[in-house]
């Protein structure tokens, strides 16, 4: 960031005496911090990074400033992946620009697959189970795959991979689809990873990929790093949180999350971050100027590479540096088939991780043995209500 | 009761007779004579002394308490707090929403069951240890009570973190021990890597264990002190009459300790019913809705996103109401025992 | 008594000895079970990372290390904020609120114990009721109020709540102590020509001192250990966290760094334990006196 700030000051000398303070906050605190800053008027930033699913919600809450005029006259606009920019636009007004993108895939170790006799990475759900069982047999005491309950961004791929949708919108009204046959098949299969096939341990129930809700490291992430977990679903950024004494780093590789029957991979959630200007900022022009430097082709690419993400420019994605890396190839392939709805719905974060944890709690109840039909039906109606109204009733 | 005689002092005037020293007579600097006389005449002294505590309590306790009731009748959320949307009166809508929320009933059940187990268990363990302490030799009793004091001194946060560490599935002592315990007695391999914090029953078992652990010493020491006030002749005569230890406890000791037990019971219930800190840590902050107790449930409404302060206030009001009902007995007993004399 | 001894002779003494030994063993067992979690905490704090999860846990570290404590003191896992920062915050908040609370409570206790005035009973009932209001409910509206008064993210805000919330019980306990000081002493001093301030300092204060100590201990422990208000009011300003919040934050964020978590917890807990041990006797008598007397 220091380099980028120096660049910016050189590029735009009117700001050469501006002091820039960069504040790193824990990712899970971000929405609380925005709300507090807005309400109390204290500690409000001028520029903020947001998850791309945050942008629609925060824009509608009045947290972000309308930067349409800046963006429309920006040289970088044409190179940005259009779908990503569309996510940040509401009724024609732009509230953020994409900074980097990332998708999830399945982490594994190439040498482990070879040793267990797996010749090619799985492309169907049944192959995934078979491979997990082979790995657990070859490496007793490890877990085959992490069937956690609190990562809907990853779980969505299984619903989409069965041909279903979590929820669909028409004319502003949401209809939840969890009770459709495709969705139920996906839910049943995912839960069976724990209940029937015992590929995942009980401690992952109620956890995110990083452990307990709110943790910044631990859980399945640490287990994969230490070799206790054979296959792990997460994005390439997960390497940042793995323990320092992780084993066999050279064997790390990735393959896209399989769909139910193959041969194509399941659609993945198009995650990533945006940059936005805070509504209470007193210097929107200066903010935009800095953002345009942070988000130009070279800076965004180098920043993304540092963290294991992809830059938002279509030219970079189709080029090739990602496809040739053993580690990143799976992610790059997966990125070509991405989906975002309904995770960018206005009330999605309330339904998923803000207040109600609808899908995580549903998975948790099912893994704990609750009756399938009634639990899924209850979650479905709750999801529909929350998506439409923002509250449970 | 003799009424204050400060009025008389004023009548008698200063000088010859020293002022009757009922309380404080303000006759010396820095107060001027006239202010002092005014205070004395209007008997304002006690009110002045009470003023700081009254101001603090009024602003920081009574005012928010009233607000709790007021906000619970409004649709107060973040937009209302910032001012982007107006506050509306919604009557009992928040309450009806809570009463229709299955999570509320679940958290209420969890609170009830856990405190019904926690409180008697703490009392029983504490009483037993208190009895033990009364029978031990001086040095041994001092040692055991010092150790118990250490457990009592452990802050809620530390106790919770220690117990979570003991019960962690990855290399925690509890799972290791249970796995080694013979299967026939309930142990066995199924305990290896068992997670105590992702379901309500194991989590609250853990919480109950740690609350009893930090809570029994206070009971034990109170019981011990109470036992020491009972004249030993009562025990002696009972023993001479042929009563065994058990009968002595029930017929002699327990009735005399009843007032203490009553106080301890009610204080424990108030505290354990809405218990917050230990639960917050053991269930891993606010992420697992199916493990909330009532205290956490109403807190979560305000501090998960999006914040709904009106709803949370309604929940808080319900919690307060339940506690007030439970402890109306405490106030009545205190009044009856002449606490206000 | 003598008749009993001579009749049953040796077997009576043996039975008594056996009973005593049995009780001692029981006492030791109780002490061991009670002490165990604390020992485990301290032992883990001195264990290197390789020993936290060993397949056969050892009660004592094989290779004791100060590394966990070093991590805690240099703040490498907590944004570079050292343990000293949090200790400083906690002590500042705790000591200030204890002093304020003791002073204000003493004034109120004097008023209530020494005077008869119209609203005395009302005031006392108010104190009782206030003790019953749950903090986790009040914190919601207090949070909104603090936002309005700009007291969020501020240690001063915490001092205010800690002082206020320890007042009811403190006043109640001090009341008994003040009432126990015989009025004749003050009257005698007045006859000797002592003014009110002298009488307060020389007579009342020394006699109420044990009560002040007991209530200060209670207020200190309450403020030092307090969690809900700290959690809610200090939000994301990690540098202002008090120790309980720091330990929880440490645990909640770093996942599985058990050595440093236990080291932080040990450092946090040891002072309170020492404190309690030192004032053990006074604490028990003061609290029981308060409870029994009503």
Provide the ipTM: 0.85
How many Å lie between the alpha carbon of C230 and the closest alpha carbon of chain B?
11
Instruction: Tell me the chain B residues in contact with residue A35 when contact means C-beta distances shorter than 8 Å.
Output: 78, 305, 307
How many Å lie between the alpha carbon of A49 and the closest alpha carbon of chain C?
17
Q: In the prediction, which pLDDT does A39 show?
A: 67
Residue A33 CB partners (closer than 8 Å, separation 6+)? A25, A43, C235, C236
Per-residue confidence band for C291, with pLDDT thresholds at 50, 70 and 90: very low
Average pLDDT over residues A327-334: 82
Q: For residue B82, is it within any domain? A: no
Quickly list H helices, A218-357: 219-225, 284-294, 297-307, 314-319, 329-335, 348-349
Return d(Cα A203, Cα A194) in angstroms, integer.
11
The answer to whether the bond into A342 is cis (omega within 30° of 0) is yes
Return d(Cα A354, Cα B308) in angstroms, integer.
12
- Tell me which CATH code domain C72-293 carries: 1.10.3720.10
Return d(Cα A191, Cα B17) in angstroms, integer.
90
| Residues C37-53: tens digit of each pLDDT | 999 999 999 988 888 87
| Residues C224-274: tens digit of each pLDDT | 999 999 999 987 678 889 999 999 888 887 767 888 999 999 999 998 888
Per-residue confidence band for B24, with pLDDT thresholds at 50, 70 and 90: very low
Pair B323, B188 in one domain? yes
How many Å lie between the alpha carbon of A218 and the closest alpha carbon of chain C?
5
Average pLDDT over residues C85-108: 93
Do A355 and B305 count as a contact with CB atoms less than 8 A apart? yes
Per-residue confidence band for B180, with pLDDT thresholds at 50, 70 and 90: confident
* C-alpha to C-alpha distances, A22 to A29, A45, A49, B70, C19, nearest whole angstrom: 16, 9, 11, 41, 70
Q: In the prediction, which pLDDT does A365 show?
A: 92
Closest of A320, A221, A260 to residue A123, by C-alpha: A260
Least confident of A255-264, B9-18, C170-179: B9-18
Residue range of the domain that includes B23:
1-9+19-43
Return d(Cα B334, Cα B234) in angstroms, integer.
27
Pair B106, B29 in one domain? no
Of A40, A217, A222, the CB nearest to C152: A40
Pair B99, B3 in one domain? no
Assign A334 to helix, strand or coil. Answer: helix
Indicate the number of domains in chain B.
Answer: 2
Q: For residue B70, is it within any domain? A: no
**From the centroid of its chain, how far is CA A129?**
24
Do A392 and B97 count as a contact with CB atoms less than 8 A apart? yes
pLDDT at residue B151 is higher than 70: yes
Q: In the prediction, which pLDDT does B10 show?
A: 32
DSSP, residue by residue, chain C:
-HHHHHHHTHHHHHHHHHHHHHHHHHHHHHHHHHHHHHHHHHHHHTS-HHHHT-SS--SS-SS--SHHHHHHHHTTTTTT--HHHHHHHHHHHHHHHHHHHHHHHHHHHHHHHH---TTHHHHHHHHHHHHHS-HHHHHHHHHHHHHHTT-TT-HHHHHHHHHHHHHHHHHHHHHHHHHHS-HHHHHHHHHTT--HHHIIIIIIHHHHHHHHHHHHHHHHHHHHH--HHHHHHHTT-GGG--HHHHHHHHHHHHTT-HHHHHHHHHHHHHHHHHHHHHTHHHHHHHHHHHHHH-
Q: How many CB atoms lie within 10 A of CB C131?
A: 18
Q: How many CB atoms lie within 10 A of CB A23?
A: 9
Q: For residue B68, is it within any domain? A: no
Pair B132, B34 in one domain? no
How many Å lie between the alpha carbon of C63 and the closest alpha carbon of chain B?
18
Instruction: Tell me the chain A residues in contact with residue B97 when contact means C-beta distances shorter than 8 Å.
Output: 391-393
A385, A393 contact by CB (below 8 A):
yes
Interior/surface letters A61-90, b for 16+ CB within 10 angstroms, e for the rest: bebbbebeebbeebebeeebbeebbebbbb
Name the residue of chain A whose CA is nearest to C49's CA: A245
On whether any CB of chain A is under 8 Å from the CB of B171, the answer is no
Return d(Cα C138, Cα B67) in angstroms, integer.
9
Q: Are strands A143-145 and A229-234 parallel, antiparallel or unpaired?
A: parallel
On whether any CB of chain C is under 8 Å from the CB of A211, the answer is yes
| Residues B283-311: tens digit of each pLDDT | 888 878 889 999 999 999 888 877 889 99
Of B82, B197, B288, the CB nearest to A38: B82
Q: In the prediction, which pLDDT does B31 show?
A: 55
Top residue of C21, C50, C68, C134 to mutate, by most chain B CBs within 10 Å, is C134
Return d(Cα A97, Cα A147) in angstroms, integer.
33
Average pLDDT over residues B314-324: 90
Q: Tell me which residue has tokens 């004399």.
A: B341
A390, A350 contact by CB (below 8 A):
yes
What DSSP element (H or E) covers B300? Answer: helix B294-303
- Domain borders along chain C are 11-65, 72-293
Domains of chain A: 2-102+271-324 (3.40.190.10), 105-268+347-389 (3.40.190.10)
Joined together, the tokens standing for residue A389 give: 């109204």
Per DSSP, what are the bridge partners of residue B89?
B74
* C-alpha to C-alpha distances, A184 to A141, A146, A362, nearest whole angstrom: 31, 20, 12
Do B195 and A354 count as a contact with CB atoms less than 8 A apart? no
Q: How many CB pairs under 8 A join B and C?
A: 318
Instruction: Tell me the chain A residues in contact with residue C252 when contact means C-beta distances shorter than 8 Å.
Output: 212, 214-215
| Residues B212-257: tens digit of each pLDDT | 999 999 888 888 887 777 777 777 777 777 666 667 777 777 777 7
Joined together, the tokens standing for residue A215 give: 């943790």
Do B81 and A212 count as a contact with CB atoms less than 8 A apart? no
Q: In the prediction, which pLDDT does A132 show?
A: 93
Of A205, A212, A393, the CB nearest to B284: A212
Closest of A58, B4, B315, A376 to residue C111, by C-alpha: B4
Of A212, A214, A357, the CB nearest to B289: A357
Do C24 and B136 count as a contact with CB atoms less than 8 A apart? yes
What DSSP element (H or E) covers B331? Answer: helix B309-336
Closest of B323, B322, B280 to residue B304, by C-alpha: B280
How many Å lie between the alpha carbon of C293 and the closest alpha carbon of chain A?
46
pLDDT at residue C1 is higher than 50: no
Per-residue confidence band for A159, with pLDDT thresholds at 50, 70 and 90: very high
Name the residue of chain C whose CA is nearest to A211's CA: C255
Pair B123, B199 in one domain? yes
Return d(Cα A22, Cα A288) in angstroms, integer.
16
Q: How many CB atoms lie within 10 A of CB C54?
A: 12
Name the residue of chain B whose CA is nearest to A218's CA: B170
What DSSP element (H or E) covers B99? Answer: helix B93-99
Q: In the prediction, which pLDDT does B228 show?
A: 77
Joined together, the tokens standing for residue B305 give: 């996103």
B203, B197 contact by CB (below 8 A):
yes
Q: In the prediction, which pLDDT does A342 show?
A: 84
pLDDT at residue A235 is higher than 60: yes
Do A218 and C237 count as a contact with CB atoms less than 8 A apart? no
Q: What is the CATH number of the domain that holds B187?
A: 1.10.3720.10
* C-alpha to C-alpha distances, C113 to B27, B340, C123, C173, C178, nearest whole angstrom: 21, 10, 12, 11, 6
Joined together, the tokens standing for residue B93 give: 């809508």
How many Å lie between the alpha carbon of A271 and the closest alpha carbon of chain B?
20
Of A29, A210, A218, the CB nearest to C236: A29
Pair B34, B119 in one domain? no
| Residues A8-60: tens digit of each pLDDT | 888 888 877 788 888 777 776 777 777 777 766 667 888 888 888 888 878 87
Q: For residue B238, is it within any domain? A: yes
Residue C209 CB partners (closer than 8 Å, separation 6+)? none
Q: In the prediction, which pLDDT does B4 show?
A: 35
Q: In the prediction, which pLDDT does C289 show?
A: 52
pLDDT at residue A393 is higher than 70: no
Do A202 and B288 count as a contact with CB atoms less than 8 A apart? no
Return d(Cα A192, Cα A132) in angstroms, integer.
13
On whether any CB of chain A is under 8 Å from the CB of B304, the answer is yes
Provide φ and ψ at A386, rounded to 5°: -70, -40
Closest of C137, C160, C128 to residue B59, by C-alpha: C160
Q: In the prediction, which pLDDT does C294 show?
A: 36
Q: CA triplet C21, C25, C31: central angle to 5 degrees?
A: 145
Report CA dihedral (A324, A328, A333, A339) to the nearest 10 degrees. -150
Average pLDDT over residues B142-161: 91
Provide φ and ψ at B77, rounded to 5°: -135, -165
* C-alpha to C-alpha distances, C221 to B146, C86, C109, nearest whole angstrom: 17, 16, 21
Do C150 and A211 count as a contact with CB atoms less than 8 A apart? no
């Amino acid at each position: 960031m220091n380099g980028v700030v120096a660049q910016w000051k050189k590029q735009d000398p009117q700001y050469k005496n501006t002091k820039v303070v960069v504040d790193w906050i824990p990712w899970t605190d971000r929405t609380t911090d925005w709300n507090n800053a807005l309400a109390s008027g204290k500690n409000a930033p001028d520029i903020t990074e947001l998850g791309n699913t945050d942008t629609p919600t925060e824009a509608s809450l009045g947290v972000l400033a309308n930067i349409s005029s800046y963006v429309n006259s920006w040289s970088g606009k044409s190179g940005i992946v259009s779908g990503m920019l569309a996510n940040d636009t509401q009724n024609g007004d732009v509230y953020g620009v994409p900074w980097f993108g990332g998708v999830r895939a399945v982490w594994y170790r190439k040498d482990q697959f070879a040793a267990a006799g797996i010749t090619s990475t799985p492309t169907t759900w049944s192959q995934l189970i078979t491979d997990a069982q082979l790995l657990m047999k070859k490496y007793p005491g490890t877990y085959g795959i992490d069937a956690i309950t609190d990562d809907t961004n990853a779980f969505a791929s299984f619903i989409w991979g069965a041909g279903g949708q979590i929820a669909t919108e028409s004319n502003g009204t949401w209809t939840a689809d969890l009770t459709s046959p495709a969705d139920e098949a996906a839910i049943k299969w995912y839960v069976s990873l724990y209940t029937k096939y015992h590929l995942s341990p009980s401690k992952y129930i109620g956890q995110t990929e990083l452990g307990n809700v709110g943790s910044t490291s631990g859980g399945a992430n640490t287990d994969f790093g230490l070799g206790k977990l054979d296959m792990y679903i997460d994005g390439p950024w997960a390497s940042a949180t793995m323990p320092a004494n992780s084993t066999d780093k050279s064997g790390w590789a990735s393959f896209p999350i399989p769909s139910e029957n193959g041969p194509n991979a399941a659609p993945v959630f198009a995650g990533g971050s945006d940059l936005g200007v805070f509504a209470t900022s007193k210097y929107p022009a200066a903010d935009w100027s800095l953002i345009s430097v942070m988000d130009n082709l070279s800076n965004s690419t180098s920043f993304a590479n540092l963290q294991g993400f992809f830059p938002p420019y279509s030219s970079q994605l189709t080029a090739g540096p990602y496809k040739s890396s053993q580690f990143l190839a799976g992610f790059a392939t997966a990125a070509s088939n991405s989906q975002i709805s309904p995770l960018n719905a206005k009330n999605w974060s309330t339904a998923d991780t803000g207040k109600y944890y609808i899908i995580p709690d549903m998975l948790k109840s099912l893994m704990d043995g609750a009756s399938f039909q009634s639990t899924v039906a209850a979650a479905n109606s709750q999801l529909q209500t929350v998506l439409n109204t923002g509250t449970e009733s | 009761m003799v009424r204050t005689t400060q009025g008389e002092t004023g009548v008698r005037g200063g000088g010859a007779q020293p002022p009757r020293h009922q309380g404080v007579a303000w006759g010396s600097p820095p107060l001027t004579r006239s202010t002092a006389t005014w205070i004395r005449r209007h008997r304002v002294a006690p009110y002045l002394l009470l003023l700081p505590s009254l101001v603090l309590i009024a602003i920081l306790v009574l005012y928010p308490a009233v607000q709790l009731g007021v906000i619970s009748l409004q649709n107060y959320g973040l937009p209302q707090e910032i001012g982007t949307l107006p506050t509306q009166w919604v009557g009992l809508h928040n309450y009806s929403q809570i009463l229709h929320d299955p999570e509320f009933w679940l958290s209420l059940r969890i609170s009830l069951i856990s405190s019904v187990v926690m409180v008697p268990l703490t009392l029983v363990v504490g009483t037993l240890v208190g009895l033990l302490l009364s029978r031990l030799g001086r040095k041994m009793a001092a040692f055991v009570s010092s150790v118990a004091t250490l457990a009592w001194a452990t802050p809620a946060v530390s106790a919770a973190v220690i117990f979570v560490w003991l019960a962690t599935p990855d290399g925690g002592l509890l799972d290791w021990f249970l796995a080694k315990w013979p299967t026939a007695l309930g142990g066995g391999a199924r305990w290896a890597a068992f997670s105590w914090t992702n379901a309500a029953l194991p989590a609250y078992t853990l919480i109950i264990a740690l609350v009893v652990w930090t809570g029994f010493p206070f009971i034990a020491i109170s019981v011990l002190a109470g036992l020491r006030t009972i004249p030993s002749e009562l025990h002696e005569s009972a023993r001479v009459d042929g009563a065994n230890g058990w009968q002595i406890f029930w017929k002699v000791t327990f009735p005399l300790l009843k007032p203490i037990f009553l106080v301890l019971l009610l204080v424990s219930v108030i505290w354990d019913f809405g218990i917050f800190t230990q639960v917050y840590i053991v269930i891993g902050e606010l992420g697992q809705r199916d493990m909330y107790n009532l205290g956490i449930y109403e807190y979560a409404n305000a501090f998960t996103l999006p914040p709904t302060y009106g709803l949370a206030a309604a929940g808080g009001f319900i919690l307060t109401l339940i506690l007030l009902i439970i402890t109306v007995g405490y106030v009545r007993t205190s009044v009856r025992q002449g606490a206000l004399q | 008594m003598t008749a009993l001894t001579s009749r049953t002779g040796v077997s009576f003494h043996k039975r008594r000895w056996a009973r005593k030994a049995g009780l001692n063993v029981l006492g030791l067992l109780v002490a061991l079970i009670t002490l165990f979690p604390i020992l485990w905490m301290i032992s883990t704090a001195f264990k290197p990372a390789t020993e936290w999860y060993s397949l056969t846990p050892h009660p004592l570290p094989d290779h004791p290390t100060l590394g966990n404590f070093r991590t805690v003191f240099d703040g490498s896992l907590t944004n570079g904020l050292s343990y000293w920062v949090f200790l400083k915050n906690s002590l500042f908040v705790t000591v200030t609120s204890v002093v304020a609370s003791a002073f204000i409570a003493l004034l109120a206790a004097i008023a209530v114990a020494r005077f008869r005035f119209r609203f005395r009973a009302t005031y006392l009932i108010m104190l009782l009721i206030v003790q019953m209001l749950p903090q986790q409910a009040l914190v919601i509206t207090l949070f909104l109020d603090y936002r309005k008064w700009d007291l969020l993210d501020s240690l001063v805000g915490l001092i205010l709540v800690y002082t206020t919330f320890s007042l009811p019980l403190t006043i109640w306990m001090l009341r008994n102590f003040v009432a126990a000081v015989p009025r004749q002493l003050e009257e005698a001093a007045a006859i000797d020509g002592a003014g009110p301030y002298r009488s307060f300092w020389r007579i009342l204060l020394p006699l109420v001192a044990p009560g002040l100590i007991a209530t200060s201990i209670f207020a200190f422990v309450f403020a030092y250990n307090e969690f809900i208000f700290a959690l809610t009011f200090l939000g994301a300003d990690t540098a202002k966290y008090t120790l309980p919040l720091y330990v929880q934050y440490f645990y909640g964020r770093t996942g599985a760094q058990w050595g440093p978590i236990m080291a932080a917890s040990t450092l946090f807990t040891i002072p309170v334990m020492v404190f309690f041990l030192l004032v053990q006797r006074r604490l028990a008598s003061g609290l029981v006196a308060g409870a029994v007397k009503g």
